[in-house]
Amino acid sequence: MPTDELRARYLRDKVMTATPAQRVVMLYDRLGLDLNLAASTDDVAVRGGHLSHAMQVVTELRGSLDLSAGGPAENLLGVYGYLLTELIAIRGGAVQKLPAVTQVVTELRGAWAQVADVTAAGANPAGRVSGAGAWVG
């Protein structure tokens, strides 16, 4: 089996066996990669491609929120709105905003990684962190 097929199979299996919180961490990992790639190039078109993909990831994260739970989900909705607004500005040329956006994403990724670790460890009988359903529907 060719290497590309093996890699795709591994990634598919990893996603399919991940908990919802682990999937969110995976999205943050990809978002961070997109932001780092955008920061590492002076080519406006290439940067724009990475930023467009980053916006798709944020939109996916935003769509995963269970807003009926209120509280944290509503807060994250606001953060994701902020990130989208900033990414649009960065794509429009405000590249100086990229480090601040990257910092927010890094901090959120760290928080989600903690949730995923506790969830995977079976922190309670249901295998979920109390309130985690508010963030991921």
**Any domain includes 9:** no
**Any domain includes 133:** no
pLDDT band at 30 (very low <50, low <70, confident <90, very high): very high
- Counting the structural domains of the chain, the total is 1
Tell me the two tokens of residue 22. 């682990």
CB contact at 8 A, 38 and 47: yes
**Any domain includes 10:** no
pTM: 0.79
Longest Cα–Cα distance of the chain, Å, equals 51
CATH number of the domain that residue 72 is part of: 1.20.120.340
Q: What is the span of the domain harbouring residue 76?
A: 20-121
**Any domain includes 4:** no
Distance CA 19, CA 25 (A): 10
**Any domain includes 136:** no
| Mean pLDDT value of segment 116-126 | 68
**Any domain includes 5:** no
